């Protein structure tokens, strides 16, 4: 088992180091790092813009590049948090707490240096996890029938929507809305046109790129225009030699790094608990095990290292359920899965055996990409820091153009640009009403496959809904789902929760129960 | 029972039912729930027109209808907490003093200047900026295809220019320079490098590039 994984990985390196693929990977992490640094730009919008532009290249190159944007943005996001105290990238929001005080003490460079190294450690562990765990998962998942796939999707959808930010019930509502948007268009089995309201352009369904850019582009810009905090460029003078940590820093970072890695890789395995939750849990844990918890928030290096390591470990680990089971954990993964589907590749357990070049090439490219990111971030830190000073008033109009041209390029059709407009208005309304739109994308991508498998399961069982309780594996998924909901209700009804870091980390405490049940 | 002779909007003397109603209309979750119920109704009513089928042979209308019903239920659950002030108002109306005090306290909290802001609109609504952002893709569509002088270059210019006006500190010159810069860059990247099939500049039927 281990030897086959290692030989496959060797082939993967062959794929990832092909000049073309290497170039796409480099381009991906470069763009990712750039948008990660820019306050107010997210990896989601960037991947959506790049998505139509990758139609012309081979699936391997496309997915390497889009994935590179995802983890590249994580490296850049830390710079923004540590030097500017701007929590514009959710997974790095906690890093502000101790990263910015370090900057104020003139140790911002050290924080960045340690972060880059910690990120690499976390990511490496996440990749290792993926190499050895994915084949095992796939082996189990290949036995799944439609009923099992269906119940697993249900678990993924509910976990993805209830464990994310905000109210769980609103999250579920967003998932259902996403499923609804996924229904629009021609029905796969009967060809009936559903919810197109006579608009022929909607026959092929709502465009994924338009949906993603409406929700995470236009709506986000409406949300943050003229609401930007004044950018304080006082501390953005970081050079490479400032990044060298002292021996004391290194000694204090080792154990938080290990703890962060473990937390991140555990969070990655639970659907719905992405990097953001991992980082909050990591910070809370680090504070708990520390001998001096009262010093947290004053520039403790542990408070920077641990969340950052866990974020990166979780980001890489998030690819496990996405690539091996075809169940995305969050919106970015849903988008990457959508990119695969547009390229004509069916995600699911058969992906590794049918397209080994994509899977193992991707795994190998993670390592290539992470090494590139370390090389990009340490010597070129001065350049990235310069990017921080680009004002938002230049960023969002340029981004609007990329949104428009990106959506247009998806089908060379102006109708989709109009779609972005409508979805953008809807997305902003949802944001103002306290919804977090990320689960919409999850429901949208999984929706058609969920419907297909549900119909098939019902056909096989001759219309007996009990099939979900009678088949053992399906029963496990369903009972974990029920436990998840029960735990949510229990924690909602438990009084005395205040909005603190500890409370934000609560979703993490909640998921331990369903995990134990597995 | 009700003291309707007192002037309105002075806490403590107004109709509790009215206060409860106003308080409910102030709650964000009330509208959030309503929106979900509206979407759910759309699906639940429109869904069955596509033939439901049986559980064994599900028709195209089955899942939409089921999702519609679920969404309505979720919408009700989201809106439910917002109905509490109305319920309390009604209870206050029939003379339960505790409920009445609850509504009045809620009213006082909501109208206090330091009270927590739970409006649908942000504290400083940016109507002009929002219109600019929304007009920007519209400009891209119109100048991209539907005008006698259309194409990638004018569409890009208009798109960036209109959006950039939305910023509070925008200047005409700055916006013009930014749009020109992005237009040159955009045409170079998308037309010459990535070869998006959109004419750069088309005057009537005559393509310049």
Question: A116 near A305, Cβ under 8 Å?
Answer: no
**Interface contact B200, partner A, CB < 8 A:** no
A170 contact residues in B (CB cutoff 8 A): 32, 78
**Interface contact B38, partner A, CB < 8 A:** no
What is the number of structural domains in chain A?
Answer: 1
Measure CB to CB from residue A458 to each of B56, B68, B136 and give the nearest one: B56
Report yes or no on whether pTM surpasses 0.95: no
- CA torsion sign for A91, B122, B75, A440 is negative
Q: Which residue of A has its CA nearest to B57?
A: A459
Question: A269 near A320, Cβ under 8 Å?
Answer: yes
Distance of residue B100 Cα from the nearest chain A Cα, in angstroms: 25
Closest CA relative to residue A184, chosen from A409, A416, A447: A447
Backbone φ, ψ for residue A410 (5° rounding): -60, -45
Tell me how far apart the alpha carbons of residues A340 and A333 are, in angstroms, rounded to a whole number: 11
Q: What is the pLDDT of residues B134-148, one digit of tens each?
A: 999 999 999 888 888
Tell me how far apart the alpha carbons of residues B129 and A362 are, in angstroms, rounded to a whole number: 41
Query: Which residue do the tokens 């996924």 mark?
Result: A182
Distance of residue A291 Cα from the nearest chain B Cα, in angstroms: 37
**Annotated domain spans of chain B:** 16-111, 127-207
Measure CB to CB from residue B120 to each of A412, A420, A432 and give the nearest one: A432
Q: Which tokens is A21 given?
A: 């693929």
Testing the interface with A: which of B139, B140, B162, B177 to mutate, by most A Cβ within 10 A? B140
pLDDT for B95 equals 74
Testing the interface with B: which of A401, A412, A415, A464 to mutate, by most B Cβ within 10 A? A401
Q: Which tokens is B80 given?
A: 């439910």
B96 against A152, higher pLDDT: A152
Distance of residue B90 Cα from the nearest chain A Cα, in angstroms: 26
A454 contact residues in B (CB cutoff 8 A): 58, 63
Q: What is the pLDDT of residues B21-64, one digit of tens each?
A: 877 787 888 899 999 999 999 988 888 888 777 777 777 888 88
> Does A412 sit within 8 Å of B130, measured CB to CB?
no
Where does residue A208 rank: exposed (0-12), middle (13-18), buried (19+ CB within 10 A)?
buried
* ipTM metric: 0.85
pLDDT for A232 equals 67
Q: Which tokens is B119 given?
A: 């409006």
**Interface contact B43, partner A, CB < 8 A:** yes
Most distant CA atoms of chain A, gap in Å: 69
Q: What's the Rg (C-alpha) of chain A?
A: 22
Q: Which tokens is A10 given?
A: 């060797």
Q: What is the DSSP letter of B26?
A: H
Tell me how far apart the alpha carbons of residues B169 and A75 are, in angstroms, rounded to a whole number: 31
Distance of residue A404 Cα from the nearest chain B Cα, in angstroms: 6
pLDDT for A461 equals 82
B152 contact residues in A (CB cutoff 8 A): 405
Distance of residue B64 Cα from the nearest chain A Cα, in angstroms: 7
Q: How many CB atoms lie within 10 A of CB A9?
A: 17
Which residues lie closer than 8 Å to A248 by C-beta, 6 or more apart?
none
The gap between the terminal CA atoms of chain B, to the nearest Å, is: 79
Find the Cα–Cα–Cα–Cα dihedral A507, A509, A510, A515, rounded to 10°.
120
Give me the domain span that covers residue A408. 2-517
**Interface contact B60, partner A, CB < 8 A:** yes
pLDDT tens per residue, chain A (518 residues)? 678 878 888 888 888 888 889 999 999 999 999 888 887 777 888 888 888 888 888 888 899 999 999 889 888 888 888 888 877 777 888 888 888 888 888 888 888 888 888 899 999 998 988 888 888 888 888 888 888 888 888 888 888 787 766 788 888 999 999 999 988 888 777 777 888 787 877 878 888 889 999 998 899 888 888 877 666 666 667 777 777 888 888 888 888 899 989 888 888 877 667 788 888 888 888 888 888 888 888 888 888 889 899 999 988 888 888 888 888 878 888 899 888 888 888 888 888 888 888 889 999 999 899 999 998 888 888 888 888 778 888 888 998 999 999 888 888 888 989 999 999 999 999 988 888 888 898 889 888 888 888 888 888 888 777 778 888 888 888 888 888 888 877 777 665 443 433 344 443 333 332 333 32
Question: A137 near A320, Cβ under 8 Å?
Answer: yes
> Does B175 sit within 8 Å of A397, measured CB to CB?
yes
Tell me how far apart the alpha carbons of residues A489 and A513 are, in angstroms, rounded to a whole number: 13
Tell me how far apart the alpha carbons of residues A109 and A105 are, in angstroms, rounded to a whole number: 10
What is the helix (H) or strand (E) element at residue A446, kind and residue range?
helix A438-460
> Does A173 sit within 8 Å of B36, measured CB to CB?
yes
B177 forms beta bridges with none
Distance of residue B201 Cα from the nearest chain A Cα, in angstroms: 15
Backbone φ, ψ for residue B207 (5° rounding): -80, 125
Measure CB to CB from residue A405 to each of B130, B133, B186 and give the nearest one: B186
Query: Which residue do the tokens 């569409």 mark?
Result: B155
> Does A227 sit within 8 Å of B175, measured CB to CB?
no
Share of chain B above pLDDT 90, in %: 27
> Does B169 sit within 8 Å of A172, measured CB to CB?
no
Q: What is the DSSP string of A230-283?
A: PP-GGG----GGGGPPPHHHHHHHHHHHHHHHHHHHHHHHSTT--HHHHHHHHH
Distance of residue A233 Cα from the nearest chain B Cα, in angstroms: 18
A195 contact residues in B (CB cutoff 8 A): 43, 46, 64
**Interface contact B196, partner A, CB < 8 A:** yes
> Does B28 sit within 8 Å of A434, measured CB to CB?
yes
B53 forms beta bridges with B58
Question: A271 near A156, Cβ under 8 Å?
Answer: yes
Helix, strand, coil fractions of chain B, as percent rounded to 5: 65, 5, 30
Size of interface A-B (CB pairs under 8 A): 184
A194 forms beta bridges with A185
Q: Which tokens is A479 given?
A: 């009972």
B39 contact residues in A (CB cutoff 8 A): 177, 180
pLDDT for A6 equals 83
């Amino acid at each position: 088992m281990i030897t086959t994984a290692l030989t496959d990985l060797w082939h993967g390196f062959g794929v990832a180091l092909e000049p073309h693929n290497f170039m796409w990977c480099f381009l991906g992490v470069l763009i990712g790092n750039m948008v990660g640094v820019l306050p107010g730009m997210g990896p989601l919008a960037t991947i959506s813009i790049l998505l139509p532009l990758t139609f012309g290249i081979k699936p391997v190159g496309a997915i390497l590049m889009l994935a590179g944007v995802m983890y590249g943005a994580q490296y850049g996001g830390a710079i923004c948090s540590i030097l500017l105290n701007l929590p514009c990238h959710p997974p790095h929001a906690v890093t502000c707490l101790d990263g910015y005080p370090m900057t104020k003490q003139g140790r911002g460079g050290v924080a960045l240096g340690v972060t880059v190294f910690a990120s690499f450690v976390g990511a490496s562990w996440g990749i290792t996890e993926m190499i050895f765990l994915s084949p095992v998962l796939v082996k189990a998942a290949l036995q799944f029938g439609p009923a099992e796939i269906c119940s697993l999707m249900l678990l993924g959808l509910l976990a993805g929507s209830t464990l994310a930010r905000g109210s769980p019930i609103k999250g579920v509502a967003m998932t259902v809305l996403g499923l609804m948007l996924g229904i629009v268009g021609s029905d796969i089995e009967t060809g009936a046109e559903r919810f197109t309201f006579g608009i022929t352009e909607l026959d092929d369904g709502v465009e994924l790129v338009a949906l993603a850019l409406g929700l995470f582009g236009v709506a986000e810009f409406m949300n943050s225009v003229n609401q930007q905090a004044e950018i304080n460029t006082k501390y953005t003078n970081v050079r490479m030699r400032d990044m060298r940590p002292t021996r004391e820093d290194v000694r204090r970072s080792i154990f938080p790094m290990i703890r962060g890695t473990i937390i991140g890789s555990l969070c990655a395995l639970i659907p719905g608990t992405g990097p953001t939750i991992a980082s909050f849990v990591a910070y809370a844990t680090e504070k708990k095990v520390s001998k001096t918890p009262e010093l947290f928030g004053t520039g403790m290096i542990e408070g920077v290292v641990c969340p950052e390591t866990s974020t990166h470990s979780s980001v890489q680990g998030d690819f496990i359920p996405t690539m091996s089971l075809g169940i995305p954990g969050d919106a970015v993964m849903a988008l990457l899965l959508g990119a695969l589907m547009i390229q004509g590749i069916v995600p699911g357990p058969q992906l590794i055996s049918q397209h080994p070049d994509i899977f193992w090439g991707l795994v190998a490219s993670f390592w290539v990409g992470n090494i590139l990111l370390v090389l990009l971030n340490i010597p070129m830190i001065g350049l990235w820091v310069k990017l921080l000073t680009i004002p938002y008033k230049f960023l969002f109009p340029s981004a609007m153009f990329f949104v428009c041209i990106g959506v247009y390029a998806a089908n060379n059709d102006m109708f989709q640009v109009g779609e972005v407009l409508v979805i953008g208005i809807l997305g902003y309304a949802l944001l103002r009403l306290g919804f977090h739109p990320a689960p919409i994308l999850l429901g949208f991508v999984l929706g058609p496959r969920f419907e297909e498998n549900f119909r098939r399961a019902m056909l096989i069982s001759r219309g007996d809904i009990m099939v979900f309780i009678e088949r053992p594996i399906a029963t496990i998924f369903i009972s974990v789902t029920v436990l998840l909901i029960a735990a949510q209700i229990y924690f909602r009804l438990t009084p005395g929760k205040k909005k603190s870091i500890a409370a934000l980390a609560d979703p993490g405490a909640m998921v331990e129960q369903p995990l134990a049940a597995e | 029972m009700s003291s309707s002779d007192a002037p309105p909007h002075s806490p403590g003397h107004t109709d509790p039912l009215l206060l409860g109603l106003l308080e409910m209309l102030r709650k964000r979750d009330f509208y959030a729930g309503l929106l979900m119920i509206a979407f759910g109704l759309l699906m639940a009513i429109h869904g069955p027109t596509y033939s439901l089928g049986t559980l064994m042979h599900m028709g195209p209308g089955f899942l939409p209808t089921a999702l519609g019903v679920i969404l309505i239920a979720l919408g009700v659950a989201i809106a439910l907490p917002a109905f509490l002030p109305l319920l309390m108002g009604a209870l206050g109306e029939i003379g339960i003093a505790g409920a009445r005090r609850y509504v009045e306290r809620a009213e006082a909290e909501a109208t206090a200047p330091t009270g927590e802001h739970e409006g649908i609109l942000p504290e400083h609504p940016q109507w002009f900026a929002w219109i600019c952002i929304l007009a920007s893709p519209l400009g891209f569509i119109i100048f991209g295809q539907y005008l006698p002088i259309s194409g990638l270059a004018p569409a890009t210019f208009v798109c960036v220019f209109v959006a950039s006006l939305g910023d509070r500190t925008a200047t005409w010159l700055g916006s013009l320079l930014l749009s020109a810069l992005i237009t040159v860059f955009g045409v170079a990247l998308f037309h010459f490098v990535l070869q998006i099939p959109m004419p750069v500049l088309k005057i009537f039927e005559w393509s310049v590039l």
